[in-house]
Structure 1
Amino acid sequence: MSERAQSNTTGYLFVYFTGLEKKSTDEQIYFAISHDGCVWNDLQTDGNPILSSTVGERGVRDSFLVRAADGKHFYLIATDLSIFHRGGWKNSNASESGSTSLVIWESEDLVHWTAPRLVDVASTIPDAGMAWAPEALWIESDQQYMVYWSTRSEADNHVGDPTNVYYATTTDFEVFSDPVLWIDREHSVIDTTMIQADDGYFYRASQDGMLMIERTKNPYAVSIGEYNHSDDPKQWTAVYEFKKPFANPQYIGEYLEGPELFFYNPSDARPDPTGAAMIYGLMWDQHKTGNGYLPFRSSDLGSSDPIHWELASDVDFGSLKKRHGAILPITEDEYKRLKTSFLRENPASSHEIQG
């Protein structure tokens, strides 16, 4: 799989936006790098974002980074939205009149990027209001990427809130299949994140009020209405609510959103009390308090036993607030290339860069 840690990956790249919405540069693409997944250092160009959108709404949020299946290049996808240019959230009507396109960049080295381009993924959805929080996952069995995002549509809604998750498939991030309604719940569903774990199951987490962890062996299975609890591997099955391993009543949608699943490199996977490697990371954005990301580690995404989970209290995300981003394991050469290219003009960093 393209996004998981490999034997030659030793560091990490974090792509994100700051979310302050006070100036146009707040809703653009920022980078941070880390050698261990704990201490993060922000990369900038003269204090500016690494990438800025000049298309669509001229702002981007909810970025996601994908290493291509052939290992030769990268795709960066993001929401086409600028709350700053819309004058703030209050009168923006962003979910009703938002862009139905994603902003996409491509790169062969993580340093030099193509110009941003718009790809329409949601306009064929009746009464589509926006295309937000995209992610993508390479499905090895089908040799294609599954790209998923949230769209608000009263006309295409079956139950509850009209904000649901759709997916489309692509092999090149240029031509996409027709969108398919993927998750439709009583509450709005946004910010879905998904990976395939070592047990062969696909796991996903969404901001759906309950913060349910689900799994399946068929990622294309459609979920409409109540959660499925049958543990049928061909369907998405509700495994547990995220708050269960921690018995924390605030680990719910009122407080947390924007989940992000990722893999730790083998050298950084700490053992849980049983000795199993905690190779999975899961971050939640503390949107109610505005305190940024809350990170966790796990050795078994299918288990709600606290022994397989921990709050990663040792993570230092650096000086810039990081919102709705993605973490990708990278090689030492990629790490050094990013450091050389984007730290040179900004030697003042929140930490001393090593390597």
Structure 2
Amino acid sequence: MRNLIRFHIFLLLSLGVLSCKQTPSQGNSEKQDQEKKAAANEEAQGNKEAYLFVYFEGTGKGELQEQLRFAVSADAQNWKALNNNQPIISSDRISNSGGIRDPHILRNNDEFFMVATDMFTVKNGWGSNPGIVLMRSKNLTDWKTNAIDFRKEYPKTFKNVKWVWAPQTFYDKDKDKYLVYFTIRFSGQDNLDFYSAYANKGFSGFESEPTLMFRAKYGAIDGDIIYKDSLYHFFYKGNTKNEKGEEIKNGIQQAVSKSLEGPWKEDFKYLDSYADTNTVVEGSSVFKLNNSDEYILMYDLYSSGRYEFQRSKDLFHFSEETESFTKDFFPRHGSVIGITKEEAKRLDKKWGGVPKELLNEEE
């Protein structure tokens, strides 16, 4: 009997040891997969020779403005609209409202992810909007799309939501997931807070109900997260209020954190060159220049019909003098990614309009 008990104890211990040995192996395998994805993404980033600007239009017929458009540039400063500045996808095909605003594009491992505000102000005004649009593509020309109506999907928490604005996507490499974040305002409240949720595997919805991500002291809109030197930089349009709660200043600010989960430390300094003037800006977006250590902070001067930018190498200090884009369109709140020449040619084949220098085989 004792021998039998000893045998069982030995067997259990052996199984325990085997189980312990499997866990590190599985962990190493997952880590290797993440490292391979990171290496592939880094290699892809090094091949960029052009830029893609996604935006909605600020001029022309009202019913055609809140539509998704593309433009391409060889140098991120001189831009040409694709498809004669006509929509590349009709908003009534991809949204619940019939319009989209504030499109944001992300690339990762040669896949592309877009999100946009589901809102058609020409038809429905500014009273409220139902949610956001999610889009995914492997080639920039064919897109799978889905619209999320927050009141219907999450009635318990968001039945009184008024605005779901300016969504963006950030790839969380630690979790190998895509975090979608956006500004929320509820009816009867003044707060403008950032909420977030991880997208599901198909990028057609969320894994779970969105939760509060960050609450700026005076509220904020148009968030944009950039990771650099072990810090997450959260750019947004913020403001300053006096003792009476009246807004006395607004412009582009940022908060930083060592984790996407926070806490976020606000820096109340204004980064844009117009904060001390009567010129207002919004819709800031930061992108890194191809094969460079320089970043571009661009923003929408929506009341004056201009789009300008400033430069930085550390994301804390920006050039004081603004620069302007040369373009044949009038963009509103959009975003930019780097693309390859092959991708530029693919876009030209689909819609036309890509600058000739990107189509020249000799270059």
Which TM class, normalised by the smaller chain length? 0.7 to 0.9
Question: Distance in 1 between the 2:332 and 2:143 partners?
Answer: 22
Q: Which runs of 5+ in 2 are unaligned?
A: 1-37, 240-249
State whether structure 2 residue 99 is matched by structure 1 residue 59: yes
CA deviation after TM superposition for structure 1 residue 316, in Å:
2.6
Per-residue deviation, residues 140-170 of structure 1 (Å, max 9, x unmatched): 1121111111111157x6xxx3222211112
The one of 73, 83, 93 equivalent to 2:121 is 83
Summarize the alignment of residues 310-329 of structure 1 with structure 2, pairs less than 5 Å apart.
311=321, 313=323, 315-329=324-338
CA deviation after TM superposition for structure 1 residue 75, in Å:
1.8
Question: Distance in 2 between the 1:212 and 1:201 partners?
Answer: 16
Match of 2:169 in 1: 136
Name the SS of the counterpart of 1:242 in structure 2: coil
Question: Distance in 1 between the 2:275 and 2:115 partners?
Answer: 33
Summarize the alignment of residues 278-317 of structure 1 with structure 2, pairs less than 5 Å apart.
279-288=294-303, 290-302=304-316, 304=317, 309=319, 311=321, 313=323, 315-317=324-326
Preserved CA contact (<8 Å) 1:146 1:169 = yes
Amino acid at match of 1:166: Y
State whether structure 2 residue 80 is matched by structure 1 residue 49: no
Asked which structure has the greater CA Rg, the reply is 2
Match of 1:118 in 2: 147
Residues 47 and 144 from structure 1, CA distance in 2 versus in 1: closer, same or farther, beyond 3 angstroms?
A: closer
Question: Distance in 1 between the 2:321 and 2:42 partners?
Answer: 23
Preserved CA contact (<8 Å) 1:299 1:309 = no
Summarize the alignment of residues 1-355 of structure 1 with structure 2, pairs less than 5 Å apart.
6-20=45-59, 22-44=61-83, 48-54=86-92, 55-67=95-107, 69=108, 71-86=109-124, 92-94=125-127, 97-99=128-130, 101-114=131-144, 116-121=145-150, 123=154, 124-125=157-158, 127-154=160-187, 161-172=190-201, 173-176=203-206, 177-197=208-228, 199-209=229-239, 210=250, 211-221=252-262, 235-239=263-267, 241-243=269-271, 249-250=276-277, 255-266=280-291, 269=292, 277=293, 279-288=294-303, 290-302=304-316, 304=317, 309=319, 311=321, 313=323, 315-343=324-352, 353-355=357-359
Question: Distance in 1 between the 2:150 and 2:180 partners?
Answer: 9
Question: Distance in 2 between the 1:3 and 1:215 partners?
Answer: 24
Q: Which runs of 5+ in 1 are unaligned?
A: 87-91, 222-234, 270-276
CA deviation after TM superposition for structure 1 residue 74, in Å:
1.6
Name the structure where helix makes up a greater proportion of residues. 2
Preserved CA contact (<8 Å) 1:5 1:264 = no
Preserved CA contact (<8 Å) 2:274 2:281 = no
Preserved CA contact (<8 Å) 2:134 2:204 = no
Amino acid at match of 2:284: P
CA deviation after TM superposition for structure 1 residue 171, in Å:
4.2
Match of 1:89 in 2: none
Structure with higher RCO (Cα < 8 A, 6+ apart): 1
Residues 215 and 21 from structure 1, CA distance in 2 versus in 1: closer, same or farther, beyond 3 angstroms?
A: farther
CA deviation after TM superposition for structure 1 residue 64, in Å:
0.8
Preserved CA contact (<8 Å) 1:154 1:162 = no
Preserved CA contact (<8 Å) 2:345 2:358 = no
CA deviation after TM superposition for structure 1 residue 238, in Å:
2.6
Match of 2:5 in 1: none
Question: Distance in 2 between the 1:76 and 1:285 partners?
Answer: 19
Pairs aligned (count): 301
Question: Distance in 2 between the 1:324 and 1:318 partners?
Answer: 15
Question: Distance in 2 between the 1:191 and 1:47 partners?
Answer: 24
* TM-score normalised to structure 1 length: 0.76
Question: Distance in 2 between the 1:4 and 1:261 partners?
Answer: 21
Per-residue deviation, residues 152-211 of structure 1 (Å, max 9, x unmatched): 1157x6xxx3222211112432241221112334534110111101x1111011112143
Name the SS of the counterpart of 1:309 in structure 2: coil
Match of 2:33 in 1: none
RMSD: 2.7
CA deviation after TM superposition for structure 1 residue 298, in Å:
0.4
Question: Distance in 1 between the 2:91 and 2:66 partners?
Answer: 9
Amino acid at match of 1:182: M
CA deviation after TM superposition for structure 1 residue 112, in Å:
2.1
